[in-house]
A and B are shown apart, each in its own frame.
Chain A
Amino acid sequence: MQGYLHKTGSAAPLAVFRILFGLLLLASIVRFWSYGWISELYIKPRYFFPFYGFEFVRPLGEYTYLLFAVCGLSALLVALGLFYRVATVTLFLSFTYIELIDKTTYLNHYYFISLMCFMLMFLPAHVYFSADAFRNPKLRADQVPAWCLDAVKLFVGFLYFFAGLAKVNSDWLLLAQPLRIWLPAHNDLPLVGYLLNYTWVAYLFSWFGCLYDLCIPFLLWNRSTRPWAFAAVVVFHGLTALLFPIGMFPYIMIMTALIFFSADFHQRIINSLGRMLRLRGDQLVPRRIYRMHPALNYGLVGMFLVFFAVQLVLPFRHLFYPGELFWTEQGYRFSWRVMLMEKAGHTEFTVRDRSGKKVIVNNSEFLTPLQEKMMATQPDMILQYAHILRDYYAQQGFDQPQVFADSYVSLNGRLGRPLIDPEVDLANEQETFSPKSWITPFDDEIKGF
């Protein structure tokens, strides 16, 4: 262990990763902005769904554009390696803030980016081939502690492995759900589209997807299988890009997989970039090892150990909750459970008070269509919305309003059924980490992780 902690390796992979990650993130921000999503998702809605414990994160109104500008600029600075330490901190904070505003827009790949930004704050990805290193010869180094690169690889490995483990469930493997629903939607693709009509294709995709996720970190790590594994990465994420509306995610994952390639591979990229930029020899070959103060080195390694320990436990926290995970979604987020459910619902609310006032709520007066759609299937959002309604109608003169949810939710091709006990007054229920007793039992079993 001692030996490993002092082992060093090439700085080139981290430098290439830094550049590509920053540029892709910048592209994501530009794309998000140009689609008008900033206003659509963070300015126009009247109400928001903050995460439990992060209720202090409020939308910023028109300043949200500024927040995105800061985020985009930070991403660019990270790519350039200019003011790297400050830029990684502002990137992490601005990006995470955006993601915490409204859980309606929660996506695992945003969570991935947020955590990757967190890691970059502590990793010396700027000591080689960066503007900072260009300006400051003392910073310049072509060797960094080996654990720095391994931490990134390990994190990517976690993502894939847990995403694969989550697919080891009876819906995915035995029923080929939800791919069986999603694939025929693309049966009009040229040439291969008709194949997507066949159930066996859905099974093939399901099993291949599961095995892919479980194995790919190991196959990428192993030198001899790496080229094939990377080809699989490109094919797999290319297919998902074609079939599902998941934006930049496939490209980010293809780029991220490059981190597993050899130091030589990355060095060649940097050398050719360096030639284009007409960099001098010592700028490309500083022949120096980046060393942290031993205390800092141990401190950082300790912190990363805690980080990975938390990452190891979080996907299993659902074991503390009764009921079916896909149905209750207690412990569903932050666990790399990706594309596992076709869940749709319709939830209607009745607000009453003791004096006999009663109203059936028109959700569109409070929520955007996207918010309503996400709320309708997720119990914690239903509760948050019930409280929004309680507070609103209390202001409208209802005396201690009661809020009841009439829900109908379909999961992975099962017919719809109530998700929430319609007799429970949600105005009186509190959000906690304890199990939510007012979620109706699922009445079916999905075996697996």
Chain B
Amino acid sequence: MLATVWSCGNGGGEPTPGTDTDNMDRKAMLTNLADNIIIPSYDNFKTRFDVMKAASEAFVATPNQTNLVAFRKAWEEAYIEWQKVELFDIGPGEVHTIRYYFNIYPADVQGIATNVANPASDLELPTSFARQGFPALDYLLHGVAATDAEVVAYYTTAPEAAARRAYIKRITDRMNSLLTMVINEWKGGYRDTFVSKTGLDISSSTSNLVNSYIMHYERYIRSGKFGIPSGAMMNGVVAPEKVEAYYRKDLSLILARTAHQAAADFFNGKNVKTGEAGPSFNTYLTALGAKDSSTGKTLAELINTQFATSKAKMEALQPNLYNEIRTNNQAVKDVYNEMQKAVRMLKVDMASAMSITITYVDNDGD
């Protein structure tokens, strides 16, 4: 009986609110999210990452300007791709806290120097989060000197050149092993575990996913990329030096936009390979009948509208967020404010409609 009810599928098209029990099937949602978004996104990222790793190896072997430019380009593309997987803070990604080792910024310049001098330094300590990953590479690729020639000299003729090259290798190798581990675990047993935990208790996949998703949107996109550097949070202290990709300032906005788009696409269950929307938070919410009774608009529509508003505010900014914060900060704060509205809809309206408890502790103030 169960199978009959679930198998009379909806052959695409718009789900009917409150009646489409197919879209209330969390197993189908988890399956789509794992197979069509999470795992292929990791694969895509791995491809970009491998290019960057090869470029880094070429540069470390032969530090010249050509290899520097190639490494930078590969770093940029991998960093952009990273924005599409950082949100999967669940399962292996969460267990190995890959986010902490890949993208904690601003980079700790002093700490990087310390680690360069000490090849045995512990990279797993919380204090070393900002000494590795993309932000450390950002500094090592763009921040160590003004001109390309000087950067090359930094890795060739300077007294510590060999140690610096070794550090680049050390941190890219570490990223590689972490990423490989996470991907292997997803493709090993975790995918099935993920798809099978269909409940809504605090250890279930949907509950963990919703929590980690909202936390990512709130803390790592809204706060990290806009709220903290603009001073919209932090009690008004403006800190443009805290932007992501501080040493490649014209990249900051692209990273933020990519992360935001990835979050919106995840909400809509957009298949990474085909671009088609599938079972997702969107369809689940709509099937549950979550809507604004006064206007009849579904909650999913309203959330998508708010995503679009935030996106439009982002698009109004120049790529160099550091400059924008210094000269046009209200526009940056506007992005924060619009994202804050989305946070509330996700955290209160969506979680409540799904009957999910928000369990993560919000550490906005720090």
Q: A437 → chain B, closest Cβ, in Å?
A: 24
For the complex, what is the distance from the CA of A185 to the CA of B356, rounded to whole Å?
A: 8
Q: Does any Cβ of A come within 8 Å of B365's Cβ?
A: yes
For the complex, what is the distance from the CA of A396 to the CA of B209, rounded to whole Å?
A: 38
Q: Does any Cβ of A come within 8 Å of B327's Cβ?
A: no
Q: B211 → chain A, closest Cβ, in Å?
A: 11
Q: Does any Cβ of B come within 8 Å of A364's Cβ?
A: yes
Query: Which B residues lie within 8 Å of A193 (CB)?
Result: 2
For the complex, what is the distance from the CA of A373 to the CA of B359, rounded to whole Å?
A: 9
Which residue in A343, A409, A413 is a CB contact (below 8 Å) of B290? A413
Query: Which B residues lie within 8 Å of A194 (CB)?
Result: 1-2, 5-6, 21
For the complex, what is the distance from the CA of A342 to the CA of B290, rounded to whole Å?
A: 13
Tell me which residues from 150 to 191 in chain A have a Cβ below 8 Å from any Cβ of chain B.
180-182, 184-188, 191
Q: Is the CB of B363 within 8 A of A364?
A: yes
Q: Does any Cβ of B come within 8 Å of A362's Cβ?
A: yes
Q: Which residue of A lies closest to B295 (CB)?
A: A415
Tell me which residues from 333 to 366 in chain A have a Cβ below 8 Å from any Cβ of chain B.
342-346, 348, 358-365
Q: Is the CB of A413 within 8 A of B353?
A: yes
Q: Does any Cβ of B come within 8 Å of A410's Cβ?
A: yes
How many contacts between A and B, using CB within 8 angstroms? 93
Query: Which A residues lie within 8 Å of B352 (CB)?
Result: 181, 342-344, 410, 413
Which residue in B200, B287, B365 is a CB contact (below 8 Å) of A361? B365
Tell me which residues from 253 to 296 in chain A have a Cβ below 8 Å from any Cβ of chain B.
none
Q: Is the CB of B353 within 8 A of A198?
A: no
Query: Which A residues lie within 8 Å of B349 (CB)?
Result: 410, 415-416
For the complex, what is the distance from the CA of A180 to the CA of B293, rounded to whole Å?
A: 15
Query: Which A residues lie within 8 Å of B1 (CB)?
Result: 191, 194
Query: Which A residues lie within 8 Å of B289 (CB)?
Result: 180, 199, 413
Q: Does any Cβ of A come within 8 Å of B9's Cβ?
A: no
Contacting chain A: which of B58-66, B240-248, B340-348? B340-348
Contact string against A for B residues 55-95, beta-carbon threshold 8 Å, 1 for contact and 0 otherwise = 00000000000000000000000000000000000000000
Tell me which residues from 330 to 357 in chain B have a Cβ below 8 Å from any Cβ of chain A.
344-345, 347-349, 351-355, 357
Q: Is the CB of A345 within 8 A of B348?
A: yes
Query: Which B residues lie within 8 Å of A198 (CB)?
Result: 21
Q: B355 → chain A, closest Cβ, in Å?
A: 4
Query: Which B residues lie within 8 Å of A358 (CB)?
Result: 235-236
Which residue in A184, A364, A414 is a CB contact (below 8 Å) of B24? A184
Q: Is the CB of B235 within 8 A of A181?
A: no
Q: Is the CB of B288 within 8 A of A184?
A: yes
Q: Does any Cβ of A come within 8 Å of B292's Cβ?
A: yes
Q: A146 → chain B, closest Cβ, in Å?
A: 46
Given contacts A197-B24, A362-B365, contact A409 B348 (CB under 8 A): yes
Count the B residues whose beta carbon is within 8 Å of the partner chain — how many? 44
Q: Does any Cβ of A come within 8 Å of B260's Cβ?
A: no
Contact string against B for A residues 177-221, beta-carbon threshold 8 Å, 1 for contact and 0 otherwise = 000111011111001011001110000000000000000000000
Q: Which residue of B lies closest to A181 (CB)?
A: B355
Given contacts A362-B366, A365-B365, contact A416 B21 (CB under 8 A): no
For the complex, what is the distance from the CA of A415 to the CA of B19, rounded to whole Å?
A: 20
Q: Does any Cβ of B come within 8 Å of A369's Cβ?
A: yes
Q: Is the CB of B364 within 8 A of A360?
A: yes
For the complex, what is the distance from the CA of A360 to the CA of B234, rounded to whole Å?
A: 8
Given contacts A194-B21, A199-B18, A342-B352, contact A415 B302 (CB under 8 A): yes
For the complex, what is the distance from the CA of A360 to the CA of B365, rounded to whole Å?
A: 7
Q: A349 → chain B, closest Cβ, in Å?
A: 10
Q: Does any Cβ of B come within 8 Å of A408's Cβ?
A: yes
Q: Is the CB of B362 within 8 A of A373?
A: no
Q: Which residue of A lies closest to B4 (CB)?
A: A194
Q: Which has the most chain A C-beta neighbours within 10 Å: B21, B25, B345, B363?
A: B21
For the complex, what is the distance from the CA of A184 to the CA of B287, rounded to whole Å?
A: 10
Q: Which residue of A lies closest to B344 (CB)?
A: A408
Given contacts A188-B198, A416-B348, contact A364 B362 (CB under 8 A): yes
Query: Which B residues lie within 8 Å of A414 (CB)?
Result: 293
Q: Is the CB of B365 within 8 A of A346?
A: no
Contact string against B for A residues 395-413, beta-carbon threshold 8 Å, 1 for contact and 0 otherwise = 0000000000000111001
Q: B20 → chain A, closest Cβ, in Å?
A: 9
Q: Is the CB of A408 within 8 A of B233?
A: no
For the complex, what is the distance from the CA of A197 to the CA of B287, rounded to whole Å?
A: 9
Q: Is the CB of A342 within 8 A of B344?
A: no
Q: Which residue of B lies closest to A189 (CB)?
A: B199
Which residue in B6, B288, B348 is a CB contact (below 8 Å) of A344? B348
Q: Which residue of A lies closest to B293 (CB)?
A: A414
Query: Which A residues lie within 8 Å of B233 (CB)?
Result: 360
Q: Is the CB of B361 within 8 A of A369?
A: yes
Q: Is the CB of A363 within 8 A of B362?
A: yes
Contact string against A for B residues 269-293, beta-carbon threshold 8 Å, 1 for contact and 0 otherwise = 0000000000000000001111011
Q: Which residue of A lies closest to B292 (CB)?
A: A415
Contact string against A for B residues 1-45, beta-carbon threshold 8 Å, 1 for contact and 0 otherwise = 110011000000000001101001111000000000000000000
Contact string against A for B residues 214-258, beta-carbon threshold 8 Å, 1 for contact and 0 otherwise = 000000000000000000010110000000000000000000000
Given contacts A194-B2, A198-B21, A415-B302, contact A185 B292 (CB under 8 A): no
Tell me which residues from 293 to 331 in chain B have a Cβ below 8 Å from any Cβ of chain A.
293, 299, 302
Residue pairs across A and B with Cβ atoms less than 8 A apart, 24 shown, are A184-B24, A184-B288, A185-B200, A187-B26, A188-B27, A191-B1, A191-B2, A343-B352, A344-B348, A344-B352, A348-B364, A360-B233, A360-B364, A364-B361, A369-B359, A369-B361, A408-B344, A413-B352, A413-B353, A415-B292, A415-B299, A415-B302, A415-B349, A416-B349
Additional A-B contacts beyond A194-B1, A199-B18, A413-B352 (19; CB < 8 A): A185-B355, A186-B199, A187-B26, A188-B27, A191-B1, A194-B5, A194-B21, A197-B287, A343-B352, A348-B364, A358-B236, A359-B235, A362-B366, A410-B348, A413-B290, A413-B293, A415-B302, A416-B344, A416-B349
5 cross-chain pairs, A with B, having the tightest CB-CB distances, nearest first: A362-B365, A344-B352, A197-B21, A188-B198, A185-B355
